[in-house]
Amino acid sequence: MKREMTKEDKELAEAGYEHLSQQKAHGQKDGKAEMDKVDIHEHQLTLDALQTELDTAFDPKDAGRSSGLSTDEAQARLSRDGPNVLTPPKKKSALRKYWDCLMTMFNILLMIAGVLEYILLGVDYKDNFPNTYLGGILIGVAFLNALIEFYQLQKSEAILASFLAMIPPSSRVVRDGTLTTVPAADLVKGDIVLVRSGDKTPADLIVFAASDLKVDNSSLTGESEPQERLARPEGVQSRPVEAENLLFNSTLVVNGEGWGGEYYYAVSLVVRTGDHTLIGQIAALTGNETGKKSPLAVEIGRFVMMVSAIAIVFAVVFFVVGITTVYKGKGEQTVTFAVSILVAFVPEGLPSVVTLLLSIAAKRMAAQNVLVKDLQGVETLGTRVLSCSLTLLATDKTGTLTRNQMTVTNIWSGLRMFTAFQSNNDSETTESFAIDAPGMREIVDIAALNSHVKFDRTDLPFDQRKILGDATETGLIRFAGKHIPDYDAYQGQHPKVFEIPFNSSNKWALVILEKQHRDGILTAYIKGAPERVLAKCSTYLKGGKAVPITDEFKVQYDEAYDYMASRGHRVIACAQKLLPGSIYDTAYEFSKTDANYPSTEYCFCGLVSLEDPPKHGVREAIGTLRLAGIKVMMVTGDHPKTAEAIARKINLILGETKETLSKKTGRSVDEIYEDEVDAVVIHGDDIDALQGWQWDQIFAKNEIVFARTSPQHKLEIVKRAQALGHIVGVTGDGVNDSPALKKADLGIAMNISGSDVSKEAANMILLDDNFASTVKGVAEGRQIFVNLKRSIQYTISHSTPEVIPQLLYVVVPIPLPLSAILILVIDLGFELFVALSFAWDKPETKDGLMRMAPRKPVNDRSINSLKKRALRRTKTLRRDPETHEVVRPSRFAQLVTQAKAPFTRQFWEDALEQSEAETLVDAKLLSYAYLEAGVIEMIGALVAYFVVFFKNGFTPGDLRRAQVALNDSPPTTYFTKSSPDFTNSRGEVIPAWKQVDALGQAQSIVYLSVFIIQCFNVFAVKAKFRFPFGKSIVGNYYNFAGIIAGACLGMFIIYTPPLHVVFGGSFHLSPLYWLIPVAFGVLLLVWSSVRVLLMRKSIEQGRVKDIKGLMMFPTMRTMSMRSRH
């Protein structure tokens, strides 16, 4: 990129992002009146009265001593009160769903056509009697089509409901004195429940012990900011929705976690379950189903409207041509022809095919441990996101890319480096850890006492317990526990007096506890991000004494920090302050609301590094995604050095950043141009100040890492990427990831380690927590898109051989080659069977789809186009002269602008602008279906049609002469049972019965020609990377099952005499005539092979080029392996 940017460049760069700054928070949701009517009073009771009313017992001062309900008592209450589940929201009735399926454009056209046939029957019953069957069949087909689609929708919903049942919500509850996990549905009144950050509240709860507990009530009350919840022993005399001691069912805990020691708790009591909770009582909040359409539904809808419009125009135009020329005055024949045109254009089975394809895909993805939460998600998966569209994947590090299993590796204290883990990669000056070494006891104390973890059981030896807490604290506690003889007793000796838990804003945790020293009885311990902790320190610990921090110390601190972080380790700083008893005694009231706690003059104790190795398969997964043209970037709260080191281990960063190039070349960072490097590491502190053009520079890189980010930063990154046209996926497992997960085009959460909040916000859940499953999802999603496209391409290929013969019936004219009923048999008979079989198609080549660029790539061209449009919109917006805020135009003004748009030059420039994006139904698909395969099928069908007639005594000229006789005076009608004899051009006389049989044979061979050539087309549509032969093309046995089913149907209709009354046809048709369409089917395969050769160059250009330096071998556990940079 250029060193200097002009004003115009910067203005253009900013245009694409301006709408982000214009977004304003919407007002709170309505519903206050309903909330005033709810019947909840428990929040007003004292804790003693609450115990009496609920017949339970708990200890507000030490929740760990509460025994909770017995298992038998809980079971009895569950039987009495019922399960803790909400009555499902009112959904559309089955009849309403069926009605919606029936009222689609295709079905409406069919029903209108059927009604027209019955109107003709009323006008002239005798001449139009054969149309009795046609009208009934057309209307019946519309209802049958709706029934098939309705059935598939019901089936899909059942499948997805069964998927969600695989991850039932659970709760941590105290029963029989033991903390255990039970299904949330089994909670009863009086249960003692532990909630922590990331949980979804399982019922209405009264908090009786908590600190720094915050909940997100936005889904319930519309409050955008998290609300603090406190224990109120005397109750709260206010409305339930304003009660500070009440947690509502289905709200999300965004801060506060676990319980520990004697002070910090997030413990609550179940007071309402199921429909008796606040959300259960407010029916308006549960709402009904929304009618939001998925991207696939929108794209299919456009295609349906386009085809329907073309069908109507063709039908009307040729109806007018027919009734004013060849069939003058013959309204019934031209109407029947118009109906045939409508039926020929409309692919009646398409909606059912699409629904079933997605249902099958959803089941297959669940088998790959990729769970899509709803049908819209499956459709999004298939056409917009995980298919060929996902262009950027932003992923969290801890627990997503790494194992979330922290191990303490190094400690730096008193200017000395110690190793706590045996490694051959440490420097020679690194000493082995010893608890009696200077500063080590303080590090162990901070790790053990400044912690929020809890154990599942306390009656087991320390090393056999399961630790409940985040990975960092778990690693620290495991380390500290090895060097404390009796961990539980040690905790009891030093009770907590005050605490500020870690959060993503502060990035540190503080605890003040009773730990005696020379000057007093209170000690403050702080741990967290090194830069934040060091800023609070004025001295450091050396040889057991506090020494003033000097520049020399800071230099060595930076070297130690770099040494740890460059190995990919998470680095935690520890500090202490021995509080003087003259100021801080046991009666001192600490408070975080007015910052009444010691926040400066700490003594820096040291740095602790913990290694969290990458998960197995992550390296190959990221390499595969990058080769698929998907940009993968890391967004983490870790230090930039740590993040970069991990990124280099897992294929996320391969090239140079400005900093690494500066070290190699000796040039300063400012002297290095943007186009010299392909990787960038951005510190979270710099994000807020970034301008539009700087965001452009960042996203232009192929390798991006954002470090030290907050949840707000993650959200901002997603918004900025989307503003450039990226289809963004976000993976994460923590509550801090949830805003970005919700905003992303595709939010991907972890099932096992993921919080309830993250799973609530995500569209998709990885059941096995394996990041590599994302690759399976991408591959499966791309195959979904390809299969859908093949199915549509195959389905509409028969339109040309159905429509063109109908037009010849009017223009030439010739006897009707294919009746409307036979067209319906094609569309809803064998076509439906075969079109569905594409759902089981496998990839054409092993890595073909996973080496193609996304179908909507984001590049300089697409970004510039997007920004120019945004800049035009920006310059045409009306603004308030005083506030400069955008004044939104009225609805009428918007309609007027839309009406004028097609008459402007800019509209057509935008509409005709070339795009590299691939849509589900694009020009290539339509060209193949209508102009290539369709024309071959049409010619094959017409050749067979004329050959059969010729063998029965009719030349093409004879056929035209017979049809034109309708305009004679008086008119003569041939090819009916009551027709007069016809004398052909050779002087042969053909009686009526032979005319009827000849027409039946001709229509039969046209029907069979379409079927036979379409059988070859099944394999022709698959040929993209390879010729239409080989196992990958013919390996789908369901294709052959569909062909056999279609063949049985065709034989049954053509060669069963009783059915000729309805469908026409003739059992006299010789199988030798089948060879004609077979020959054209072979021709179609030849053309498909030629097409592969012609398109090979463009396909190769669409392939993602090899990436130099990718390490496509398994990720090994390389403890303490230092990055080469």
Which is the catalytic residue, given 396, 612, 745, 827?
A: 396
Adjacent-strand bridge partners of 879:
886
Cα gap 364→513, rounded to integer Å:
54
Burial per residue of 593-611, b for 16 or more beta-carbon CB atoms within 10 angstroms, e otherwise: eeeebbeeebbbbbbbbbb
Is there a contact between 160 and 373 (Cβ–Cβ < 8 Å)?
yes
Report the 3 state secondary structure along 105-157.
HHHHHHHHHHHHHHHHHHHCCCCCCCHHHHHHHHHHHHHHHHHHHHHHHHHHH
What are the two backbone dihedrals, phi and then psi, of residue 989, each rounded to the nearest 5 degrees? -95, 125
Q: Which tokens sit at 564? A: 């740890």
396 has catalytic annotation: yes
- Tell me whether residue 690 is exposed, middle or buried, using C-beta atoms within 10 angstroms of its C-beta: 0 to 12, 13 to 18, 19 or more: middle
CB neighbourhood size of 61 (10 A): 11
Distance CA 182, CA 170 (A): 6
Q: Which helix (H) or strand (E) holds 499?
A: strand 496-500
703 φ, ψ to 5°?
A: -130, 115
Q: Judging by DSSP bridges, how do beta strands 764-766 and 746-750 pair with one another? A: parallel
DSSP E strand boundaries for 899-1015:
982-983, 989-990
Task: Please provide residue 80's backbone torsions phi and psi, each rounded to the nearest 5 degrees.
Answer: -75, -45
Q: Taking CA 107 as the corner, what is the angle to CA 105 and CA 329, rounded to the nearest 5 degrees?
A: 95
Radius of gyration of the chain (CA): 37
Give the C-alpha separation, 165 to 102, whole Å: 31
Residue 491 CA to residue 509 CA, distance in Å, equals: 17
- Token output for 10: 């910067």
Q: Which two tokens stand for residue 965?
A: 């006789």
| Residue 806: partners with Cβ closer than 8 Å, 6 or more residues away | 318, 337, 340, 341, 344, 816, 817, 818
CA distance 1064 to 1038: 30
CB 246 within 8 A of CB 204: yes
- Is residue 245 exposed (0-12), middle (13-18) or buried (19+ Cβ within 10 Å)? buried
CA 1044 to chain centre: 37
Nearest to 303 by CA among 791, 649, 881, 1032: 791
Q: How far is CA 851 from the centre of its chain?
A: 21
Omega before 813 cis (within 30°)?
yes
Q: Three-state SS for 1085?
A: helix
Number of Cβ within a 10 Å radius of residue 711: 20
Alpha-carbon distance of 1047 to 233, in angstroms, equals 78
Half-sphere exposure at residue 515, Cβ-oriented, CA atoms within 13 angstroms? 22
Query: Who contacts 560 (Cβ-Cβ below 8 Å, separation ≥6)?
Result: 412, 417, 607
Counting beta carbons within 10 angstroms of the beta carbon of residue 1066, is it exposed (0 to 12), middle (13 to 18) or buried (19 or more)?
Answer: buried
Residue numbers annotated as active site: 396
